[in-house]
Amino acid sequence: MSSRTGIPGADPRGRAALVAPAPGWTLDADVVVVGSGVAGLTAALRCADSGLRTVVVTKARLDDGSTRWAQGGIAAALGEGDTPEQHLDDTLVAGAGLCDEEAVRTLVTDGPAAVRRLIAAGAQFDLSATTGEIALTREGGHHRSRIAHAGGDATGAEISRALVAAARAKAVRTVENALVLDLLTTPDGHTAGVTLHVMGEGQHDGVGAVRAPAVVLATGGMGQIFSATTNPAVSTGDGVALALRAGAEVSDVEFVQFHPTVLYLGPDAEGQQPLISEAVRGEGAHLVDADGVRFMQGQHELAELAPRDIVAKGIMRRMREQGAAHMYLDARHFGAAMWESRFPTILAACRAHGIDPVAAPIPVAPAAHYASGGVRTDLHGRTTVPGLYACGETACTGVHGANRLASNSLLEGLVFAERIADAVADARATASPREEAREEAREEAAPGATATAHAPLLPPEARAEIQRIMTHGAGVLRSADSLARASAALDALPAAGTAAPAKTAEPGVDTWETANLHLVARALTAAALRRTETRGCHWREDRPDRDDAAWRRHLVITLRPDAQSPTLDSLDLTTTDSTVFPPVSPVIRKEYP
């Protein structure tokens, strides 16, 4: 293991950047928020309320991110008899020894009030017909009913609707259909904005820049590095890749949660797959094999409501034992009325694929769902690059550990986005003379001015190859051999000019996304190779046991400043020296043995 010290972001050699045209236009702001899900819009609204000039940049339309696909709900200790302490206990258990307890305590303590502020902003949750209070249900890993939902199984869509409406009512400036490329920095390494490409629809077109002393990454997940995922097509790991190229630390990226119950559409199904929410099991659905046997009984005290990694492993084991491609979720006993009122979205999705859950069990199998790791932050969303913040699935706050507890993701987006907005406002209000001088430097900052290396672009068709490599080598089941093969295959992918691809790897959205996927896939594979144990949603077949003595710690990854491409040799991996999520400082980093 190695040690590192220094001032993040101040490397005089500069950092890597995507190959892109020079910006043809600029916007100025106090803060630019990248992403328009629950985390991004919550941060943007609170920043705007503080009087900050706020710009939201989003890859598609405002409501096209992962948030609107969230079915189950948002977890918080809102019910009678429930407490933040109980919520904390369930979260720590699910995180398999790698949660940062202080971060979890912040989440569960601030959570109930954050949900009520969301309601005040216009979100309408389902109410109990008997009490008139928020209706609460259970999901995997929770010992209490604490999941608030909306529209039956359309919680994310309702939250997105409310936040988008609030952003439009407050006239928050937005740039839609825009892929963010790289971070701008001042000569001393402080954030100075971002470069971005607007994809033909919007106020601007082509590559431009938003100049701002604060950048908030809320770009969602990285599920598109796998062939089958519940994530939308925009989830290509852009925020994590940008942060790595900017010199930020990322952590825990080996912990990708595979949701156990995704609608099985056949062995060749690719792209976004329909999710069968954990709330279906929370309401009493049973996991069964082809013979109707409930195989999760006896494997965990909560049976089908065990934490997701345990359920996913239980399904995979049964599939291997029986040589089956999938298992079944049986909820026929719900009846048509309950399906139509409680789970209308899932019912419609199943029927669209020729499956009627009222009459037959639903074929299900695990698929990539959620990244528990990401850009490493402190409790105020600050990364190791001054002025760069991260929240939501893009971030690694320490809340999720090795396996996210069901429905904690929306809550994390709310709580930590609010904390980021407060930190940005405080930093702006207390700007020192040095920071005011930095403002002048920001005016001179240019995209690529600090970059000394450009990552070669991959041909667009490499995207499908990356997904195939990751699915077979770094999916639900992993081993040293499978991960080594995946690493070698990723390193062997042709860069522009080294092969004769069917389509020239010219700068553009498809090649930029592919470059981001490649970099994130390399980081994930390198970390998964290093972690020689099974923990949470990281399942090593060759190392089936959890090893607290050696591995109750976090892997921290950075990209070397002079890296020409994200090979295994260009990634620096270190481990923390304790079970406590290490502190983040925008000035001095702690040494890690």
Return the active site residues: 308
CA separation for the pair 566, 515 (Å, rounded): 9
Left if phi > 0, otherwise alpha if psi is -120 to 50, otherwise beta: which for 492? alpha
Using a 10 angstrom Cβ sphere, with 0-12 exposed, 13-18 middle and 19 or more buried, the burial of residue 509 is middle
Helix (H/G/I), strand (E/B), else coil: 226: coil
**Residue 227 near residue 481, CB atoms below 8 Å:** no
The Cα 259–Cα 312 span in angstroms is: 7
Q: Specify the long-range contacts of residues 478-481, CB closer than 8 Å, at least 24 apart.
A: 478/528, 478/538, 478/539, 478/540, 478/541, 479/540, 479/541, 479/542, 480/529, 480/532, 480/540, 480/542, 480/543, 481/542
The first and second tokens of residue 129, run together, are 């017909």
Please give the C-alpha separations between residue 160 and each of 34, 77, 443, in angstroms, as whole numbers. 15, 22, 34
Long-range pairs for 81-89 at CB < 8 Å and ≥24 separation? 81/144, 82/144, 82/145, 82/146, 84/108, 84/109, 84/111, 84/112, 86/143, 86/144, 87/111, 87/144, 87/146, 89/143
CA 502 to chain CA mean position, Å: 32
Q: How many CA atoms lie within 13 A of 209 on its CB side?
A: 25
Phi first, then psi: what are they for 442, rounded to 5°? -60, -35
**Residue 269: which residues within 8 A CB-CB, separation 6 or more?**
228
